[in-house]
Amino acid sequence: MADKNNSLDKALKVLDLFVGRDSMMMSEIVAATSYSNSAVQRILNTLRENGYLYKSDSDGAYRVCIKLFFLGNQADFGRQLLTVAREPVEKLARKLGFTVSVSMLDEDGKIVTIMRNNIQTVRGLVPNIGDSRSPHASAAGKSLVAYSDNMSSIIEDADYERYTDYTITNPVDFRKEIDEVRVEGYAYDNEELMDGLFCVGKAVLNKRGNAIAALSVTGYKMKILENIDTIRSELASATDEIAKLLV
């Protein structure tokens, strides 16, 4: 039999427990593995430090980070999301005639775009698929933060880089914006990431009311504002459809 790394073997067995599960408490992991509390704590600390798990501020539960999805390993949810979102996103893009994106938050509270339907060519549209950036300057980012377990820490830790004259550059203004998103249910990027572009975002929520993804519609500002009511309505239908398909 080939030699194996026992510590790595234990860590992988802990990760295996998350397949098909949204979250786990440390006590559940101890019970499932029969490892000691101290051993499980060391494993969880290592997995957190390396970006594979994160610990929720609200309930102390551990959840799989999006990093695993991009590595193609344990995050089955990410693959499921891409599969079920493809048709609603394509339908939404065709109906509206604007670019539609699907985004998630990574383990560092940054927004990552995982899918985009570029039915309308928008010159220089960023970020690229797989890129991560602070959520403060995008409609999708605001939608995700507004319904995140870690809302407060994300707001405090955002880098607040200025992209245009309209970019939010401090946590006080960002929190005000997030409060408005929670009241209205929609988020907006009004030339905050790129001059001339306007974006409308809405979160896909799970049964607990937490954001698991966000859809956003992007186009040139005047065109978006001319169609804002239709965009909001169609976004709501698409996010509801995806949420039901993920149940």
pLDDT digits (tens, 9 = 90+) for 214-244: 999 999 999 999 999 999 999 999 999 999 8
Over residues 121-170, the pLDDT tens digits come to 666 565 677 778 899 999 999 999 999 989 999 999 999 999 999 999 99
Give yes or no for a contact between 198 and 189, defined as CB atoms under 8 angstroms apart. Answer: yes
Q: State the pLDDT at residue 65.
A: 77
Over residues 23-79, the pLDDT tens digits come to 899 999 999 998 999 999 999 999 988 888 888 877 889 987 766 665 554 345 667
pTM for the model stands at 0.70
Same-domain pairing of 42 and 108 = no
Give yes or no for a contact between 152 and 174, defined as CB atoms under 8 angstroms apart. Answer: no
Q: Which of 23, 44, 64 is the last residue in one of the domains?
A: 64
Same-domain pairing of 124 and 35 = no
Same-domain pairing of 59 and 97 = no
Q: State the pLDDT at residue 95.
A: 95
Q: Is the residue at 69 inside a domain?
A: no
Same-domain pairing of 50 and 123 = no
Question: Shortest CA distance to 103 belongs to which of 156, 143, 72?
Answer: 143
Domain extent, residue 221, equals 76-245
Q: Which of 44, 64, 84 is the last residue in one of the domains?
A: 64
Question: For residue 89, what is the domain's CATH number?
Answer: 3.30.450.40
**Can you state the percent helix, strand and coil of the chain, rounding each to 5?**
45, 20, 35
Q: How many domains does the chain fold into?
A: 2
Q: Is the residue at 70 inside a domain?
A: no
Q: Is the residue at 1 inside a domain?
A: no
Name residues whose C-beta falls within 8 Å of residue 158's C-beta, 6 or more positions apart in sequence. 109, 134, 135, 136, 171, 174
Same-domain pairing of 13 and 129 = no
Q: State the pLDDT at residue 129.
A: 75
Distance (Å, rounded) from C-alpha 57 to C-alpha 126?
30
For the residues 4-20, what does the mean pLDDT come to?
83
For the residues 4-29, what does the mean pLDDT come to?
85
Q: Is the residue at 71 inside a domain?
A: no
Angle, CA 106 vertex, CA 104 and CA 112 arms, to 5°: 50
Q: Is the residue at 164 inside a domain?
A: yes
Same-domain pairing of 173 and 122 = yes
Question: For residue 33, what is the domain's CATH number?
Answer: 1.10.10.10
Q: State the pLDDT at residue 74.
A: 37
Q: Is the residue at 39 inside a domain?
A: yes
Least confident of 21-35, 110-124, 193-207: 110-124
Q: Is the residue at 120 inside a domain?
A: yes
